[in-house]
Amino acid sequence: MVELNFKTNLKKLRKSAKLTQAELADKIKVGQRTVSTWETGVAEPDMKTLSVLCNFFKCDFNALLNKN
């Protein structure tokens, strides 16, 4: 079974893009607290939002979800 590692991968992608949580949130039209809950593992985005994140970071679902 593949271990999901969304929160870590999202944080790495955001930091490599030199964005704050608030800046990312603004760009994908969610609240900063939403991004914070994703990065702390409290919540996860739905499939539509995962697709938005993949488009924004120009990556596939595996890059966002799977353990590196």
Q: In the CATH scheme, what is the homologous superfamily, with its name and number, of domain 6-65?
A: lambda repressor-like DNA-binding domains (1.10.260.40)
How far apart are the C-alpha atoms of 60 and 15, rounded to whole Å?
18
How far apart are the C-alpha atoms of 43 and 39, rounded to whole Å?
8
Domain edges within the chain: 6-65
* 2-28: pLDDT as tens digits: 456 999 999 999 999 999 999 999 999
For residue 65, what pLDDT is reported? 87
With the C-alpha atoms ordered 7, 10, 49, 4, is the resulting torsion angle positive or negative? negative
For residue 1, what pLDDT is reported? 40
- DSSP assignment, residue 41? T
* 37-59: pLDDT as tens digits: 999 999 999 999 999 999 999 99
| Of 53, 56, 54, 44, residue with least CA distance to 4 | 44
For residue 59, what pLDDT is reported? 95
